[in-house]
């Protein structure tokens, strides 16, 4: 029987192996239905299948779905696999200060080939205290654009210390749009202070603009074909959402969204705001720290596809342990992986008629779970005991690496491979296994918070209060731009870090604001 017409949210998480879909009540955020289906080569095909299945399970009118939230590894995979990337032109507004190291220096050759090698270093840039190194040379920028015409799909604009003063980047971007009419990515909006890491992050962002646009068009068609006219959002890697148009400007922010969605979903399903989330998949386990309902952010540079970047990323530890991990007996004990049967588990593991011993086989033999389609496998008690001990030791060591102290903390267990984890772990106060734990990633992306973040260096001379007020206002503005309801946006944190190598009392300030999605 069809439910009464109320409003719902559709959450979809497109992973490398499975596509998860959930429907939540828009008012209460209660899980109405959840499904898991294999990810397909053509992403939209797998999304259509998952939408059909979750609608069938929920028995609701597709027209009652008001919001659709998408979490995806599409951008990550495009970079790792060097496919479907746009051609990027790089304009570094930095001469004469940075000519010794050209753009794309140190990048893998195959990635450089995928996006092209169209770059120019033109006059401009600032000192760390905001003084101009050189004035911007507009004629030089226009000449660089003429050389790139017809050869690029987007342009990355990068300036020396542009987070201190973005004016030169903004003017260079205006010129590029006038000359080439292609999307522009400004580095001051993408990364932190370091020039080369920020430049790399901005180039990757520009290369993904076309990629995410194509995916968004496919998802829109998939939704439309099922009578869903919902407002669409993408999940970003701080555990919040961004509207489609905002996501198309900053596609690099979708990278790392999968583990983050699981952490947010784990918090919602368990009701806990702090702890450690252990997300066990078929091949890997992702472990992250939950702080006040959101994932802890990493302070370390992030390397993706061989490229070092400095845009924000969740602090996630991934280990080669999952439900499909191959278990081997060796002279020195049990060896776990690192290889896994992954999505081939239903064909290759012993419990499903295959010839490979996996962590799932051990869990079933130990009575940790039951699977209807599995067959009984005779494993020796010693093998089961030693395998469980090895799994436990790997998990305990990884959890200890993520903890802030030696004190025991709660662990929230999510993910389809969670059956390999027992009921006790050393250093853990309790193991929480919430309902719908297998769909935590899709639940997390559907929750609906919108965030804005700004990072800048403010030179000495300004009062502390005025610096904080300016940063807070800019963070709120970015949250509203990303799709937040202005009435609900609040500044959740402001960090101040003295810049010790500058004269005066200059401060690096990071402000973050969060609000509910705009109706």
pLDDT given for residue 310 in this prediction? 79
420 and 453 belong to one structural domain = no
Separation CA 277–CA 265 (nearest Å): 10
> Which residue segment(s) compose the domain that 131 sits in?
86-208
3-state class (DSSP) for residue 189: helix
For position 1, what pLDDT does the model report? 42
The answer to whether 391 and 451 have CB atoms below 8 angstroms apart is: no
Number of structural domains the chain divides into? 3
Domain shared by 282 and 425, yes or no? yes
- Band of pLDDT at residue 146, cut at 50, 70 and 90: very high
Q: Are residues 171 and 130 in the same domain?
A: yes
Identify whether 228 is part of a domain.
no
Residues 467 and 365 both lie in one domain: no
Residue 368 and residue 328 share a domain: yes
Whether residues 426 and 324 share a domain: the answer is yes
Pairing of strands 88-95, 154-159: parallel
Considering the entire predicted model, what is its pTM? 0.81
> Residue range 200-225: average pLDDT?
89
| Whether residue 292 is found in the same domain as residue 427 | yes
Q: Within a domain: residue 267?
A: no
Q: Tell me: pLDDT of 481 over 60.
A: yes
Residue 71 falls inside a structural domain: no
- Position 138 scores a pLDDT of 93
Question: Which residue among 373, 406, 436 closes a domain?
Answer: 436
CA 227 to CA 263: how far, in whole Å? 31
**pLDDT at residue 4 is higher than 60:** no
What's the CATH code of the domain at 484? 3.30.1490
Each residue of 263-285: pLDDT tens digit? Answer: 888 998 999 989 999 998 887 88
- Please say which residue of 403, 436, 469 terminates a domain: 436
Q: Which two tokens stand for residue 296?
A: 């802890």
C-alpha R_g of the chain: 24
358-393 pLDDT, tens digit each: 999 999 998 888 888 888 888 899 999 999 999 999
195-225 helix and 74-81 helix, angle to the nearest 10 degrees: 120
List beta partners, residue 32: none
Task: Give yes or no: residues 426 and 459 share one domain.
Answer: no
pLDDT tens for each residue of 399-441? 999 988 888 899 999 987 888 898 888 989 999 999 888 888 8
- Residue 438 in 3-state DSSP? helix
Most confident region among 154-158, 455-459, 469-473 by mean pLDDT: 154-158
Is 10 among the domain residues? Answer: no
Average pLDDT over residues 204-213: 92
More confident residue, 148 or 84: 148
User: What is the full DSSP assignment across 158-181?
Assistant: EETTTTT--HHHHHHHHHHHHHH-
* Whether residue 198 has pLDDT greater than 60: yes
CATH code at position 133: 3.40.50
Span 210-237, average pLDDT? 87
Residue 393 lies in a domain: yes
- Same domain? For 427 and 470 the reply is no
Give the per-residue pLDDT at 505: 66
Asked if residue 281 and residue 398 are part of one domain, the reply reads: yes
Q: Is 371 in the same domain as 278?
A: yes
| Assigned domain for 61 exists | no
* DSSP H or E segment with residue 383: helix 381-402
Sign of CA dihedral 241, 242, 244, 247: negative
Mean pLDDT calculated for residue range 444-453: 84
Cα–Cα nearest to 412, from 315, 280, 314: 280
Across 96-100, 160-164, 210-214, 385-389, which has the greatest mean pLDDT?
A: 385-389
> Which pLDDT score is estimated for 76?
82
Question: Which of 208, 235, 250 is the last residue in one of the domains?
Answer: 208
Question: Do 396 and 494 share a domain, yes or no?
Answer: no
> What are 165's two structure tokens?
């003063």
User: Within a domain: residue 341?
Assistant: yes
The pLDDT > 90 percentage for the chain reads 35
CA distance 439 to 435: 9
Q: How confident is the model at residue 502 (pLDDT cuts 50, 70, 90)?
A: low
User: In which residue are the tokens 């845009």 written?
Assistant: 311
For residue 353, what is the domain's CATH number? 3.30.420
HEC string for 319-379: ECCCCCEEEEEECCEEEEEEEECHHHHHHHEHHHCCCECEHHHHHHHCCCCCCCCCCCCCC
191 pLDDT more than 70: yes
Q: How many angstroms from the chain centroid is the CA of residue 242?
A: 12
How confident is the model over 311-326, as pLDDT tens digits?
A: 778 888 888 888 889 9
65-96 per-position pLDDT tens digit: 999 998 887 788 788 888 889 999 999 998 88
Q: What is the mean pLDDT of the chain?
A: 86
Is 26 a domain residue?
no
């Amino acid at each position: 029987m069809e439910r009464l017409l109320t409003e719902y949210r559709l959450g979809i998480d497109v992973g490398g192996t499975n596509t998860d879909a959930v429907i939540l009540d828009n008012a209460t955020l209660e899980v109405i239905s959840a499904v898991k289906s294999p990810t397909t080569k053509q992403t939209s095909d797998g999304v259509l299948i998952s939408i059909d299945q979750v609608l069938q399970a929920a028995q609701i009118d597709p027209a009652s779905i008001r919001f659709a939230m998408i979490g995806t590894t599409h951008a990550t995979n495009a970079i790792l696999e060097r496919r479907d990337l746009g051609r990027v032109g790089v304009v570094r507004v930095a001469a004469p200060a940075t000519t010794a190291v050209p753009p794309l220096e140190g990048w893998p050759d195959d990635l450089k080939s995928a996006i092209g090698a169209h770059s120019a270093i033109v006059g401009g840039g600032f000192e760390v205290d905001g003084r101009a190194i050189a004035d911007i040379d507009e004629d030089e920028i226009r000449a660089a654009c003429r050389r790139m015409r017809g050869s690029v799909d987007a342009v990355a604009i990068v300036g020396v210390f542009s987070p201190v003063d973005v004016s030169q980047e903004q003017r260079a971007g205006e010129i590029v749009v006038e000359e080439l009419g292609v999307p522009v990515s400004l580095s001051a909006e993408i990364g932190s202070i370091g020039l080369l890491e920020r430049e790399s992050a901005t180039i990757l962002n520009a290369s993904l603009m076309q990629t995410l646009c194509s995916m968004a068009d496919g998802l829109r068609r998939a939704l439309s074909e099922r009578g869903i006219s919902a407002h669409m959002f993408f999940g970003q890697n701080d555990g919040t959402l961004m509207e489609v148009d905002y996501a198309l400007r900053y596609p690099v922010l979708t990278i790392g969204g999968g583990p983050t969605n699981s952490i947010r979903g784990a918090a919602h399903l368990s009701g806990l705001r702090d702890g450690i989330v252990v997300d066990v998949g078929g091949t890997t386990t992702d472990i992250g720290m939950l702080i006040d309902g959101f994932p802890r952010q990493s302070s370390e540079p992030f390397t993706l596809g061989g490229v070092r970047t400095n845009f924000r990323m969740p602090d996630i530890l991934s280990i080669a342990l999952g439900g499909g991990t191959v278990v081997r007996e060796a002279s020195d004990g049990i060896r776990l992986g690192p290889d896994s049967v992954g999505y081939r588990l239903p064909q290759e593991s012993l419990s499903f008629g295959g010839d490979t011993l996996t962590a799932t086989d051990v869990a079933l033999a130990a009575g940790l779970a039951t699977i209807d389609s599995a067959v009984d496998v005779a494993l020796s008690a010693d093998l089961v005991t030693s395998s469980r001990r090895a799994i436990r030791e790997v998990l305990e060591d990884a959890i200890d690496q993520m903890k802030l102290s030696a004190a025991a903390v709660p662990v929230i267990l999510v993910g389809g491979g969670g059956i390999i984890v027992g009921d006790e772990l050393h250093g853990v106060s309790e193991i929480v296994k919430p309902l719908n734990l297998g769909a935590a990633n899709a639940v997390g992306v559907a929750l609906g918070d919108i965030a804005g973040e700004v990072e800048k260096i403010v030179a000495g001379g300004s009062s502390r209060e005025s610096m904080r007020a300016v940063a807070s206002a800019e963070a709120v503005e970015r949250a509203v731009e990303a799709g937040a309801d202005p009435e609900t946006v609040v500044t959740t944190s402001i960090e101040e870090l003295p810049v010790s190598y500058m004269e005066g009392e200059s401060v690096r300030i990071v402000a973050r604001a969060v609000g509910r999605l705009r109706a």
